[in-house]
A and B are shown apart, each in its own frame.
Chain A
Amino acid sequence: GQQVMQIPQYQHVQEGEDFTTYCNSSTTLSNIQWYKQRPGGHPVFLIQLVKSGEVKKQKRLTFQFGEAKKNSSLHITATQTTDVGTYFCAGPMNNNAGNMLTFGGGTRLMVKP
């Protein structure tokens, strides 16, 4: 079936180091969304990318959507302890019953102070 895959599954970094998570889809996506879930919390929407090759920045976070609209990445510059959490990408996929937002497995970021 159609899938969204994320790597790595886990990442430990020292505070101040950079971090990147990658998202790959088995199909071309009309858009990709990124969410962050803090430990014990719920997913919170970060951003949506729609255009091929699109790059968006939110302070220390940089989001990219691939040219083929099948992959995306989230890069955090100079991580802080407040960045701790699991980052999910999600894209619309069809399961024969209709379209639904399908989430990747997530990348859990741990930051050592």
Chain B
Amino acid sequence: KAGVTQTPRYLIKTRGQQVTLSCSPISGHRSVSWYQQTPGQGLQFLFEYFSETQRNKGNFPGRFSGRQFSNSRSEMNVSTLELGDSALYLCASSGAKGGSYNSPLHFGNGTRLTVT
């Protein structure tokens, strides 16, 4: 089975721009979670989608949004980028039918976003 695929791997944007990151989960997985990883804050939960519905959202401003398509692929969008948004954005899929918090997460390689 192919793993979780995230594109692009690297991205450089300037302040004020917006960015869209893409994630394709493991085939058959319907739950997709997004995390932000920074050296200072560690792994911070952004949101989780299951069957095209946002199931939970972390403590991030409204500039961070996401969606999930009928094929379970997910995108996250960050608008009006700030320098502090520079981070590794990780997508993870889970085969859980219930909350992904009770099942192993399978992470992609991440998208490293640099905001200048």
Contact = CB atoms under 8 A, between A and B. Distances in A.
Interface of A: 30-31, 33, 35, 41-45, 48, 88, 90, 92-93, 95, 97-106
Interface string B56-70: 111100000000000
24 contacts: A31-B102, A33-B105, A35-B105, A41-B109, A42-B108, A44-B107, A45-B104, A45-B106, A48-B103, A92-B102, A93-B101, A95-B45, A95-B56, A97-B56, A97-B57, A98-B99, A99-B101, A100-B56, A101-B33, A101-B45, A103-B35, A105-B42, A106-B42, A106-B43
A42 B102 contact: no
A95 B58 contact: yes
B110 interface: yes
A61 to B, nearest CB: 16
Which of A35, A90, A99 gathers the greatest number of chain B CB atoms within 10 Å? A99
B42 A101 contact: no
B22 interface: no
A103 B100 contact: no
Classify chain B's interface size: 20 to 34
Interface in B20-56: 33, 35, 42-43, 45, 48, 55-56
Given A98-B55, A101-B101, A42 B45 contact: no
B81 interface: no
Contact of A95 (B35, B59, B109): B59
Contacts of B56: 95, 97-100
A38 to B, nearest CB: 11
Nearest to A98: B56
A103 B101 contact: no
Contacts of B58: 95, 100
Given A45-B104, A99-B56, 17 more contacts: A31-B102, A33-B104, A42-B90, A48-B103, A88-B42, A90-B43, A92-B99, A95-B45, A95-B59, A97-B56, A97-B57, A98-B99, A100-B58, A100-B101, A101-B105, A105-B42, A106-B43
Nearest to B3: A42
